Structure formats: C-alpha cells, structure tokens
Chains A and B, each alone.
Chain A
Amino acid sequence: MRPPVLLDRPARWLLGALAAGALLVVLGNALVPQGHALHVSTYTVTLLGKYLCYALLALALDLVWGYCGILSLGHAAFFALGGYAMGMYLMRQIGTRGVYGHPVLPDFMVFLGWEELPWYWHGFDQFWFAAAMVVLVPGALALVFGWFAFRSRVTGVYLSIITQALTFALMLAFFRNEMGFGGNNGLTDFKDILGFDLQADATRLGLFLASAAALASAYLLARRIVTSKFGQVLVAIRDSEARVRFAGYEVEHFKLWIFVFSAMLAGVAGALYVPQVGIINPSEFSPLNSIELVIWVAVGGRATLWGAVAGALLVNYAKTVFTGLLPEAWLFLLGALFVLVTLFLPKGLAGVFLHRKGRPT
C-alpha cells in the first residue's frame, strides 16, 4: 500500500500553474507597457484576484461537502463575515477623509446621528486585530452553530436548509441600520490598506499576489488534511456515519473541526475579496451566493481539491463572459448548469478527467 502523497500530480500541476500564472500577470502588468498585446490591465488583475478569492471559498466548501458530506448552503455567510471584518478595518483607515470628515466615526454613523463608535467597532483600526477577527468571527459562528447542529445529529438536507436559514437571517440582520454595519449600503469608499492606496496599480497587484499566496497555502493545508488519517475519517463519515461511530470515532468532533476550519478559510477569502472589489454589503449573505458556490464545486468535481479550484475559476470566468455578452442568458445558463451537472456529471469535470485517464477517484 502506497500512502497518499501530499504533492501528487494534480497538486504539483495546480501549484505550478498558480505560480506561473501569477508570474505572468505580474510581468504583464508591471513590465509590459500599456497598449501592448501582452499587457495585463489592472482591471484584469483585480478580476483575477477576485477569482482566486472565489477559488479559495470553493476550496473551503469542498472540504466540508466533498470530503465530509456536509452540504452547507450558508458558506457565503462566513465569506461575508470575513469580508465585513476587513471592511471595518478599511473603514477605520479612512479617518478624516470621509464626506463628513469625522476623525473616528465612519460616514454612515455620522449620517445616522450616532455619537460614538459601537463597542464592536473598537480595535478594528489595528490591522492585526482585524486580521484575527477575519478568522475568529466566522470560526466562532461555525463553532457555535456546528456544535448545536452536529450534536443533535442534524444531517443531510435538514442541515442544508438550516444553514440557508442562517445566512438568510444574517442577511436580514445586516440590512438593518441599527446593526451598525452600514445597513443597505454596507461598507465602501475605502481609501487605503496598511498605508497603501487601494486605487494604485501596485496595491492591486499586491492584493492579487496575496490572494494567490493564500490560495496556494490553503490548498497545501487542505491537502495535508485530506491526505492524513483525519481526512480518511472525514470521507468515512461521508460514506457511512454510523460505522465511523461504532469504530470508536466521535463523529461530531471531526465534523465540527472541519466545519470551523472551512469557515475560517471562507473568512480569509472574504477578507481578501473586499479590498479588491472595494465594497461589502448585506447582499453577500444572500442564499443565492451560497448556492452558486455549491455549483462551482459541483462543476469542478467535489472531493478533489483541484476540481473545486478549477470549477470556481471556470464558472466565474464564464459568468464574466456571459454577463458581458448576454446579461439575460447568464441565469439560464447557471440554472441549466445546476440541472445538467447533477444529472449527467455527478463527479464534475474532475470525474470526467479521471475517468478518461482510467483511474478510480
């Protein structure tokens, strides 16, 4: 028996492609002059950075769904929470440059007539604090929610539906002005991050590279997990939960652990996403986002990490192309994708690929 390797062939391919792609983008953006055919515009850099964040999010979902069989329809909530944590830091960085020029309060609070900063906004002027919250807040929510859900053996579609209700409830909550997160409009008009101007090309490039690095390290971590005995237990839980229990494993601990880890990854993805798109608002919590994320993973092929990454990149690229060409057609296509993939490609593109190569998954 050959033990599973950390860097198998797809892993080497994926990391190599990521490194090569990042290098090309950097060269194309920074060294090739504008107007040249090989020039990569900053707009494209940001777009690619966004895709990488989505890929990271897809990776997070694949860990719980593909490997452990927990179909979370609320993963966008963790993504959005990470995004809000980063958004709060960016808001605090605006300082007196806001429309109202208040030294501490963000514009929307001045607009609402608030006198002082709510307690939960304290600390977000420090990057390290915000960075910690990016993982801790989604992690804590996942911990509490998962502890309740897994302990009372809520599984399958029930779990899916209550995760959806969770993100829906959060969306409604964040729409409220009283919550202190900017209500409808969310957080926007960011100026700089760690002292770098967010509009500058170099900052954009830096954020793109940070996303690529985050994806690469998350991928390695995830590989490390799924190739360990822990990963084998996860797959075993997916295939036969009761058997795992009677083999002496506390199934709930394993589920909880991977759920929390996945939520943290999603939080990181959200935190990298927000400075690149320049806004975070409650619609990021919408159940539709979470389900769209599921289809990225389904298209790419669940239970293969590179499949999740490839699916996220592919579907989002298609989305950009189609919404540009035929905005109306996109939802038709997305809907058809859901139906066709579940009917004909239950293992996604990865399944097709592996089948053609004649290997079992």
Chain B
Amino acid sequence: MNVLEHARRLLRRDQVFPMLMPKRLAEPDTRHGPILYLEGVTVSFDGFKALDDLSLYIDDGELRCIIGPNGAGKTTLMDVITGKTRPDAGSVWFGQRIDLLQLSEAEIAQAGIGRKFQRPTVFGGHSVFDNLRLAMAGDKGVWRSLFDRLGAAEREHIESILETVGLADHAGRRAAELSHGQKQWLEIGMLLAQNPRVLLVDEPVAGMTPAETERTAELLTGLAGRHSVVVVEHDMAFVRAIARRVTVLHEGRVLAEGSMEQVQNDPRVIEVYLGEDDDD
C-alpha cells in the first residue's frame, strides 16, 4: 500500500479512523439479534482448508449444537472465535461493535466469551476452589491480582458454583487428583464462574457416565437464555436431548442448519454424516 492511498484513507469522511474507535465495549451490542457473527471465514493450513468461506450467526441466548464428521472444522471454528487461530480471510464480530479479530485471547475472554476444551483442561496444581477463583469474572490485571483479597461475596459465589457442579465435597483437593468426569465438571464450573455471554463447549460429555451426561444436558439447557451456548458434540443422543437448532459442518463449510428434525431429514447430511453413524 503506498503513501497516497494512506493519505486518501485518512481523508475519507464516511468512517471513523480505526485508531479512534473504542477498542473494547463493556457489553456487546445485540439489538439486532445475533451475538456472534462469522462471515466468510477461511483458515488454511498448508493448503488444506480447515474452514472454507464459512458464515455463521449465533443469536443472543440461543443454544446451538454444531455437529460434523472429524476434520469438518469444528475445533478450528472455536479456535477462531476465541482468538487462538487467526483466519486468513473473513470477519468475526461479537455483537455489532466488537471486532474479535482485533483482540487477544485474554481480551476476548474478558469481553465475554468462555471456552471449554475438548480434553478437560484445569489447573492441576491448584485446589478445586482456587481453580474457580482464578476463573471468576473480575479485573484480571497484574496489579489487581497482586493485591486481591478473597471477599465474602466472592466466596459465596464460588461455593454456590461448587454446589451446582457437584464438587462441594472436593473443594480443597488438587484438581490434578480429580477423575476425568470431575475435571469436566470443574471446567464447566470455571466457565460458570467466568460468567461469559457466550459459552463455547467442546465435547462436554466425553467420558461421562449416562447419569452425568443427563445432568450436563440439564445444566446446559438451563444456561441458555441468560447465556448463549454453542456446543460441539459427537454424541448424537446428547445432541438430540438438548438441541433446538443444529448446524452441520462439512469440510469447513456449513452443510445444513435448522432444527434437529430438519437436519436429520436433509439428504446431504444423511449422506456425509448421519448415514454412516446411524448405529451410534
């Protein structure tokens, strides 16, 4: 880009200079419905397109399931939304004002997008209680954390989350000592403590017993409404149990979108995904 073009840009009157735009807004603007806008997002690794011109809208308070065969780009999609992977093309907006591509992972998290990893990821060296405390919403700057004191309200909030995720008896245990299912719950608890507007949940019921799965389903449906929840899941029974709207990804594109019923009857979907996995 040459100097002239820069100069011309500076003289345009129909837009605000990027440097003058507020970088972060306290609340995403969702007056038009959707809270997440992904438009024309493309991510390629060495020629292989993990996401190919993908567009996706998530409404405020919605519970959305994303399904698709392996390699469809589900995890990459989450990486793009949370800032771990920068797309080669496309735009990602949080509400109408917040451009997620301009923010770091931490800033995105603070703006109100929480993520649960595919493999449960907790802070093994810390107690369950401290895991929740670290995840707790609030000022996460260096100085603040140096002088932070645990208040009574905060403690109560953590204890209520411990109740919700059924770990009240394990509050003092080191997270590394928990069972796989308990770690899954702890991570969900951390998401709750973070209190995000959007929860991205990657395979929440992997390794859970049927009873635990059922509780997770309850929890997630209960969260929708106050939060927007995006669930990536392989377990079709679980998806059927919770889903209102389902998006099917295939080879980095949206193959179909709609209610579970619509999607299940879509011939293309049957061909690439449901057909093969029917016995699942």
Contacts and interface: CB of A to CB of B under 8 A. Distances in A.
Contact of A243 (B123, B147, B171): B123
Interface residues of A, number: 27
Given A232-B126, A236-B134, A253-B141, A245 B146 contact: no
B190 to A, nearest CB: 7
A136 B114 CA distance: 39
A348 to B, nearest CB: 16
Contact of A229 (B109, B129, B134, B194): B134
- Per DSSP, chain A at the interface is helix
B8 to A, nearest CB: 32
B134 A250 contact: no
Contact of B82 (A238, A239, A246): A246
Contact of A245 (B105, B130, B141): B105
Contacts of A251: 106
A288 interface: no
A240 interface: yes
Contacts of B140: 247-250
Interface string A204-229: 00000000000000000000010011
A360 B175 CA distance: 12
B109 A248 contact: yes
Contacts, number: 91
A243 to B, nearest CB: 5
Nearest to B136: A247
Contacts of A242: 84, 105, 117, 121
Contacts of B133: 229, 232
Nearest to B127: A1
A246 B81 CA distance: 11
A330 interface: no
Given A1-B172, A242-B84, A245-B109, A228 B148 contact: yes
Interface residues of B, number: 38
Contacts of A232: 126, 130, 133-134
Contacts of A254: 142, 145
Contact of A228 (B82, B117, B126, B147): B147
Contacts of A3: 150
B145 A233 contact: yes
Contact of A248 (B110, B142, B146): B110
B125 A239 contact: yes
B135 A247 contact: yes
Contacts of A230: 142, 145-146, 148
Contacts of A309: none
B122 interface: yes
Given A245-B106, A246-B105, A247-B194, A235 B126 contact: yes
Contacts of A229: 133-134, 145-146, 148
B134 A240 contact: no
Contacts of B124: 239-240
A230 B140 CA distance: 9
A354 to B, nearest CB: 13
A240 B116 CA distance: 13
B117 to A, nearest CB: 7
Interface in A177-191: none
Given A225-B146, A254-B142, A246 B134 contact: no
B109 A253 contact: no
Contacts of A225: 146
B47 to A, nearest CB: 24
Contacts of A239: 123-126
Contacts of A243: 117, 121-123
A322 interface: no
Contacts of B115: 246
Nearest to B121: A243
A168 to B, nearest CB: 30
B49 interface: no
Interface in A239-278: 239-240, 242-251, 253-254, 257
Contacts of A1: 127, 129-130, 155, 171-172
A292 B98 CA distance: 49
B245 interface: no
Nearest to A67: B125
A282 to B, nearest CB: 34
Contacts of A250: 104, 106-107, 140-142
A245 B145 CA distance: 15
B125 A246 contact: no
Interface string B13-39: 000000000000000000000000000
Contacts of B157: none
A246 B109 contact: yes
B244 interface: no
A130 to B, nearest CB: 28
Given A250-B141, A250-B142, 16 more contacts: A228-B148, A232-B134, A233-B145, A235-B123, A236-B123, A236-B126, A239-B125, A242-B121, A243-B117, A245-B104, A247-B194, A248-B106, A248-B109, A251-B106, A253-B141, A253-B142
Interface of B: 82, 84, 104-107, 109-110, 114-115, 117, 121-127, 129-130, 133-135, 137, 140-142, 145-148, 150, 155, 171-172, 174, 190, 194
29 contacts: A1-B129, A1-B171, A1-B172, A228-B147, A229-B146, A230-B142, A230-B145, A232-B133, A232-B134, A233-B134, A233-B145, A235-B126, A236-B123, A236-B126, A239-B123, A242-B84, A243-B117, A243-B123, A245-B104, A245-B105, A245-B109, A246-B109, A247-B134, A247-B135, A247-B194, A248-B106, A249-B106, A250-B104, A250-B107
Pairs of residues from A and B, 6 with the lowest C-beta to C-beta distance, nearest first: A248-B109, A229-B148, A245-B105, A248-B110, A236-B123, A230-B145
